Chains A and B, each alone.
Chain A
Amino acid sequence: MKRVYSAALAVFLLSVFLVSCSKNISPEETQPVAPSSSSVRMAIAVDPDGLDPQMSASASTFQVTSSIYETLVTVDESGNIQPCLAESWKIADDGLSITFILREGAMFSDGDACDADAVVSSFSRLVSPVSVRSQDYSFISSVEAVDENTVHFEFSTLDVTALAKFAYPWSAIVDTEHEGSLRTEPVGSGPYMLSSWVPQQSLILERNPYYDGECGVDMIEFVVMSDMTSAVTAMRNGQLDIILITGDLVGLFEGDERFTIHALPTNGLQLMAMNNESEGLDDIRVRKAINYAVDKNALIEAVWWGYGEPIGSHFPVVLSEYADMNGKYPYDPDKARELLAEAGYGEGELNLRMFLPKNYQEYVNAGQVIADMLRNVGINVDIQIVEWATWLSDIYNGRNYDLTVVGHTGRLDAYSLLSRYRHDAAENYFNYENAEFDSLLDAYVRETDEMKRKEIAFRMEEILAEDVPALYIQDPIQIYVTDSDLEGFRTYPINIFRMDLLEYSYR
């Protein structure tokens, strides 16, 4: 019998170990939040890549940090610049300097003043090599605190898009006194502060007691749910207030008065990049043939259930400088075969390798549909599905590919968006080269007249639509579902959420 006791003891010990291990997550971190009028739960697919906006390039980071930190200025839904930490600003007539007047009494969540000195040290960190965005802000030659609430920036080169650069979430003012620990313990002057973060489970924000503005809700909980079925189930059970869904799931929420559906084009685009130095693709006739061979509407219908705006150039439809280039190459497979024959490629004579990033199912699906359409006009496509890290290293940076499908997030101006097409840009994974385009880019940042600048943007879009270094697919429509009692949810042309504007209507 003694042995039986020993065996039982072993099992018991294991159980004790197990339960004690479970306590590693402290209660206050995971305490389920009772539904109250002042909390909002939103599902996110992946964790932020740390909470230091100057040290990350992920959209997932900025969606959270935009509630914790403040930028000098911000944007409304249509991309117009709005005051944020800065109440007002003045751009010098020559465009080479800008002065911001800060909101009085702004404070970081640790109680320190978020004054002109704080702005100066935050920007000094942003332009230093430690930040991942230093390159984007290299036009700033000096930044100084004029008085407690006034900050003056001097620029080394004329950049007419400079003001917009103070709205991007990565330019947020961080408390540099905590710079070593901002990734996990962020300190900012925004409406909310981090309460707890258990990676791959949840991230909870609570009111920043030192924030002087209004907030409709006291607590924001981001719940990490990588599986769409779980998120949709939780939403329908009333456990969540905001989720992002794919087009096929709209039917589950449509006509249900508990939910509001927000389906709007985003500031972004999806394309099939072509390596302009690959054999075959270096011939513009082949690239045109590929554009004629793909039925974009059918593609968008098949992959995104019709939720997308077709585009003909590298430009999201939501920006004011957008020009419609859809008419250039309508779906015409016969024309495609003709152009291919002209370029010297008969039926089945052109072989292309297509690499698709595994982590993005929609791009994999789109690639497969496109490949099918290309086979239809006699192009052999060999599909390889690769991991994201491999894609970044071999395809995007190594440029060892023929075709690949990917998405890009938009910017507020044409220069930031299109500078990757400059022939020597490190981000020019298309290997695209066009001297006129390069000179237009330079002209754009120096043109102070808004109308003329718009003309330049239109011309750049036209050149890309003409040369087709890529097959431009669509500006995706993002579909958010919110609790219908929740008001104030909007989407913005940069990666931010305005959680402070949310409120419940019935309470």
Chain B
Amino acid sequence: MGKYIAKRLLAALAVMAIVSFMTFSVLELIPGNAALIAAGTEGSATSVASIAAELGLNRGFLERVLLYYKDLLSFDLGVSSYFGENVSTLIGQRLGVTFSLAFFSVLLAFIFSVILGSAAALGRGRLIDALSRGVVQIFSSIPSFWLSLLFLILFSSVLHVVNVGDYVPPSVSIRGYLSSIILPVAVLAIGETGPLLRLVRASMIRVRNEDWYRIGKVRGISRMRLIMAYALRYALPGPLTLAGSELAKLLGGTAIVESIFALPGLGRLFLTAVEMRDIPLVEGIVIFVSFLVVLMNLVTDLVLFFSNPTMRKAGGIKL
């Protein structure tokens, strides 16, 4: 088990190295740099040169990359060229927001999907099934920026139930925290519900046609017990894997929703970093997020392993 985790983490290191080098190369190829942006249209040409020297941009590409990796070995992510703040501090400040949004929206979407998806599968062809298919269609087609604006206007402007642009960490006030994230979480959850719900429904329909499910029914196991104890456990690995990868996806990118709700999250930081050609910040976020993705995949595998015996018996994961 420990060996398995160590192996996975080692693979993560390789992934991070490759991804970060690719990022360096892409940033090198696209036009513009941080010095040009800092000088803008009102600075003079000499200021571009002095800013470039200050940021170390006058060094060669390989030299810059190697210097970066050298610092990285001592866990130094460098200083953001745009904000002038340590990259690790900037990322740290945003973890709370991004984790909250990603975790709660996926959790909400997952719970909702399991309930509605199972109900739809069991009542296949009936009203509940039509309803769930309608939900899938509608939720998958709503653009998140539009829904965000709609929520913002309805709940903040018309009903005055939540405030905008006031992120309150849970350590200050749980109520303020929930009120500041509830709208974006709802928007993201709605976006996640479509694919999850479809998958849950499909898995449950498959279970319904399994022989052991029919036998269970014939043997007189109560319907509730049959669903909760057997069917769900058999049907959930697929949706769980999807939820895990969706979570990883959201950790790296909720930029649109964060921007509209004025939340200081990782996605918005990343967007700014790329626009401002802030190489240390882009690299820092890329390395951090790729680590998270690898970690999330590992956690998903572990959760699957513990929640479903067939995964172990079938040798899905060798621990």
Contacts and interface: CB of A to CB of B under 8 A. Distances in A.
A387 B149 CA distance: 25
Interface in A92-138: 129-136
B299 A239 contact: no
A25 B263 CA distance: 13
A130 B173 CA distance: 44
Contacts of A351: none
B46 A389 contact: no
A233 B96 contact: no
B42 A227 contact: no
Interface in B265-308: 268-269, 272, 275-277, 299, 302-303, 306-308
A229 B260 contact: yes
Contacts of B96: 18, 21-25
B160 A237 contact: yes
B307 A25 contact: no
A3 interface: yes
Contact of B302 (A10, A56, A236): A10
B268 A32 contact: no
A334 interface: no
Nearest to A48: B83
Interface string B19-46: 0000000000011110011111111111
B90 A22 contact: no
Contacts of B99: 17-18, 21-22
Interface string A1-28: 0011011001000110111011111010
A408 interface: yes
B168 A30 contact: yes
A154 interface: no
Contacts of A199: 83, 85, 90, 93, 264, 269
A311 B166 CA distance: 41
Contacts of B41: 392, 396, 406, 408, 427
Contacts of B39: 57, 132
Contacts of A229: 149, 152-153, 260
B71 interface: no
A1 B50 CA distance: 65
Nearest to A358: B275
Given A132-B47, A237-B156, A7 B303 contact: yes
B128 interface: no
Contact of A388 (B43, B163, B275): B275
Interface stretch (A83-91, A218-226, A296-304, A471-479): A218-226
Given A132-B51, A135-B44, A239-B166, A24 B92 contact: yes
Q: Which of A4, A10, A30, A184 has the most CB of B within 10 A?
A: A30
A47 B93 CA distance: 15
A408 B51 CA distance: 21
B234 interface: no
A230 interface: yes
Contacts of B84: 50-52, 183-184
Interface in B126-179: 149, 152-153, 156-157, 160, 163-173, 176-177
Contacts of A183: 84
Contacts of A198: 93, 264
A415 B163 CA distance: 47
A409 interface: yes
A36 interface: no
A426 to B, nearest CB: 3
B163 A22 contact: no
Contacts of B103: 14-15, 18
A397 interface: yes
Contacts of B170: 19, 22-23
B264 A57 contact: no
A392 B277 CA distance: 12
A236 B260 CA distance: 16
B169 A230 contact: no
A84 B302 CA distance: 65
Interface residues of A, number: 72
A229 B167 CA distance: 17
Interface residues of B, number: 71
B153 A426 contact: no
B317 interface: no
Interface string A163-206: 00000000000000000000110000000000000111100000
B36 A224 contact: no
A394 interface: yes
A393 B33 contact: yes
Interface in B68-121: 82-85, 90, 92-93, 95-97, 99-100, 103
A49 interface: yes
A57 B95 contact: no
Contacts of B156: 233-234, 237
A58 interface: yes
B32 A392 contact: yes
Contact of A201 (B38, B149, B173, B264): B264
Given A134-B50, A135-B46, A30 B32 contact: no
Contacts of A394: 31-32
A231 B156 CA distance: 11
B32 A32 contact: no
B308 to A, nearest CB: 8
Q: Which of A134, A233, A396 has the most CB of B within 10 A?
A: A233
Contacts of A384: none
Contact of B37 (A224, A233, A392, A406): A392
Contacts of B48: 397
Contacts of A80: none
A231 B37 CA distance: 26
B307 A392 contact: no
A229 B85 CA distance: 29
Given A21-B96, A199-B90, A227 B36 contact: no
A359 B307 CA distance: 48
Contacts of B56: none
Contacts of B167: 30, 201
A233 B261 CA distance: 11
A142 interface: no
21 contacts: A3-B307, A7-B303, A10-B299, A14-B103, A24-B93, A27-B169, A27-B171, A31-B172, A32-B172, A50-B83, A55-B54, A184-B84, A201-B93, A201-B264, A230-B260, A230-B262, A234-B163, A234-B165, A237-B156, A389-B276, A393-B36
Across the A-B interface, the 6 shortest Cβ-Cβ residue pairs: A389-B32, A22-B96, A183-B84, A426-B45, A132-B47, A6-B306
